[in-house]
Amino acid sequence: MTFQTSSSNRQRDCLLVASILLFAVFNAVPEVACGANPALLQTKQEKNHLELTLSSDAVSGMTHTNTLIKFVAKLSNTGNKAVTGTVTWSLTGTALPLRHNTLPIKVDAGKTESFIQTITTGKAGFSEMLCEFTKDGSEEATRKRMRIGVDPDKLISPLTQQPDFDEFWKRAVNELKSVPPSYEIRECFDLSDDRIQVYEVSMRSHDQIRVRGWLEVPREATRKFPAVIRVPGYGQNMKPIGKCDDMIVFSFNPRGHGNSQQDVPGQPTNFWIRGLDAPETYYYRGSFLDCIRAVDFIASREDVDQDKIAVWGGSQGGGFAFATAALDPRVDRCIADIPFLCDWINYFQLTHWPEMDEWIADHSRRNWQSTLRTLSYFDAMNLADRITCPTLMSVGLQDTVCPPTTCFHAYNRIPGEKDYRIYPNHGHGLGKEHTAWVWSQLREAFALPK
């Protein structure tokens, strides 16, 4: 028997088949279509998106001893499944007694939960709170750190000066004086404009090393001007800034930096281990003296107001600023941002640099004791009691490169007029707003219109 279908029935069947095919296409598992494991899609669909934030009620990150401080961690779950796990609190530093505390938690999908930990601050210093969230079944943790300061202007660390410290620097400065500076000044017409004339300056420093910088002089030089010597961070290249038409600006590059690499190469960027076997050969002996030579140059100019000479730098440049102000009484104002080269013993307790470990391990005669002895001659903390000019230091409270503890160990040894500024949420860098603020401070100090 033969069955026949009508035209309408055939049309209905075709539509049914097409519908089934379309349903199969649009509802197929994409990973299967691509040859992937369907279980991966399920994992992806149920993945939770977590964000951990950490804050404290310490005003601007600072507080006093014997004060109750509250830390608040917020864990936001923007995924589609509840999350369970543990929150762990750990504290290091001088705020005690909390050391380690763990509690189980649950955060529903689309919710944010807050977790609070309180401490009573101990002695002056800095303490770091670490909050970690570990999801059940996972070995990886989500982490947030926050550092607070406790009366940092009361921090004191023992000096590490060697018995011949003063004689060492007296001898070094006298050696520099025996080297004729042989200044060479060349105008850079492509960098000058109708407001500022720009010159490249070359001079001889300790060991006859050639060093250079960029001098910017107001074109309408009808009077004496304040001068600012800018010194570089580690490996930084100081260049003209084209900013001031009522100040002289000298952007100076010590040996191995910027345009001062003719005699001392900048690469590899390993300045802090160059010549470290002995104080007489260490890189920073020469570079500190280079900065004094920069002051020599500025002090030699008739268009500079000799009572208004500032030195300013950040990171390594902050250490240079401290050292230059300490070794040269002609400096009238010192600006040190996030300063490096401060309290080496504490520095290596708070940071870890494989480069230094490898340098020490590279030779049998090297050890930490001898290394720290050499470094002690170049510790801004040991030089700080020589700084008599007004000094301004600024630090990033969350800085892990130059921890503020080390900065204050140098700053607190300065006997003269001084002030500091702390940026509670900044690390190793303070931003353009800080730079603008420092210029305003210099203008005010030099009695210039803002």
- In which residue ranges of the chain is pLDDT below 50? 1-36, 38-44
pLDDT at 2: 33
Asked if residue 5 is part of any domain, the answer here is no
Give me 244's structure tokens: 């001031």
pLDDT at 450: 74
Q: Which helix (H) or strand (E) holds 361?
A: helix 354-361
What is the CATH number for 364?
Answer: 3.40.50.1820
Q: Please indicate whether residue 100 is annotated as part of the active site.
A: no
Question: Whole-angstrom Cα distance, residue 140 to residue 142?
Answer: 7
Asked if residue 11 is part of any domain, the answer here is no
pLDDT at 3: 32
Same domain, 123 and 191: no
Same domain, 330 and 182: yes
Give me 226's structure tokens: 């304040």
Same domain, 264 and 372: yes
Catalytic residue among 56, 205, 315, 394: 315
Catalytic residue among 343, 399, 409, 426: 399
Asked if residue 222 is part of any domain, the answer here is yes
Quote the pTM value: 0.87
Chosen domain end from 154, 188, 214: 154
How far is C-alpha 133 from the chain's CA centre? Answer: 27
Same domain, 141 and 191: no
SS3 450: coil
Asked if residue 184 is part of any domain, the answer here is yes
Give me 245's structure tokens: 């038409």
Asked if residue 122 is part of any domain, the answer here is yes
Domain enclosing residue 207, as ranges: 171-445
Q: Please indicate whether residue 315 is annotated as part of the active site.
A: yes
205-241: pLDDT as tens digits: 999 999 999 999 999 878 899 999 999 999 999 999 9
- Residues 6 or more apart whose Cβ sits within 8 Å of residue 3: none
Same domain, 378 and 297: yes
Chosen domain end from 154, 188, 207: 154
Asked if residue 161 is part of any domain, the answer here is no
Chosen domain end from 154, 180, 210: 154
Same domain, 93 and 183: no
Q: Please indicate whether residue 90 is annotated as part of the active site.
A: no
Asked if residue 34 is part of any domain, the answer here is no
pLDDT at 155: 95
Same domain, 350 and 212: yes
Asked if residue 396 is part of any domain, the answer here is yes
319-369: pLDDT as tens digits: 999 999 999 999 999 999 999 999 999 999 999 999 999 999 999 999 999
Same domain, 180 and 77: no
Decide if 86 contacts 102 (C-beta within 8 A): yes
Question: Whole-angstrom Cα distance, residue 269 to residue 276?
Answer: 14
What is the CATH number for 65?
Answer: 2.60.40.10
Same domain, 137 and 204: no
Same domain, 306 and 382: yes
Same domain, 149 and 175: no
pLDDT at 139: 87
Decide if 124 contacts 66 (C-beta within 8 A): no
Domain count, the chain: 2
pLDDT at 97: 55
Same domain, 126 and 178: no
| Residue with tokens 């040190």, as numbered in its chain | 336
pLDDT at 378: 98
